[in-house]
Structure 1
Amino acid sequence: MIPTVDIQPNTNGLPGLTALEQIVGALLTLGLIAAVAGVALSAIAWAIGSHSANPHIAGKGKTGVLVAGAAAMLIGAANTLVTFFTTAGAAVR
């Protein structure tokens, strides 16, 4: 018979976990600020490219808006995504 291993995450196993949670929260905030800047800069590039009849710059601006929007969505959903996959992984037996 193969022994089972059942180790669960805990919040008091290592010192400094509270500080690490604060650092990760700050990184999420920084990522969202960068995403807002990315949307703004890309929208500006899109507008300049469209008004100057430069489809290359307009296309890069559109791509930048989509990428920054997707990044903001992933950053906002990070907790939910990690929780989902943790729960799904724990259900595998």
Structure 2
Amino acid sequence: MATQAAARPDFGAVAAASELERVIGALLTIALVTAVALLIVCAITWAIAVSAGSWHTVARARAGVLVAIGGAALTGGALAWTNWLLDTGTSI
């Protein structure tokens, strides 16, 4: 497999590449923005709940932070997976 200099999918071998590139880029952007927003909200909730002594809310907010970090990691993994699928598709 060839390595790419930029962190973006190679759409050269795909028909209607410009449309596919826009759709995938938009989905990755929405997922990343959602994960960051969830991370911020859950971190703020976690801090407020700790100061208020609400341990049940602390546990839920901590789980939300972990889910947000996992979502961001999956979003980054989706880019690598897309590159792998495109490379596999060109060799078949």
TM-score by length of 2: 0.71
What's the Cα RMSD here? 2.0
Q: CA deviation at 1:18?
A: 1.7
Structure-2 residue corresponding to 1:11:
14
- Whether 2:46 is the aligned partner of 1:46: answer yes
CA distance in 1, matches of 2:66, 2:55: 16
Which range is displaced more, 49-58 or 18-27?
18-27
The 3 A distance-change label for structure 1 pair 81 and 19 is: closer
Taking only the aligned residue pairs, the percentage that are identical comes to 36
- State the aligned residue count: 75
Q: Structure 1, unaligned stretches of length 5 or more? A: 1-9
Paired residues of 1:45 and 1:61 also in contact (CA < 8 A)? yes
CA distance in 1, matches of 2:53, 2:69: 25
**Runs of 4 or more consecutive aligned structure 1 residues displaced over 3 Å after TM superposition:** none
Higher relative contact order (CA 8 A, sep 6+): 2
Structure with bigger gyration radius: 1
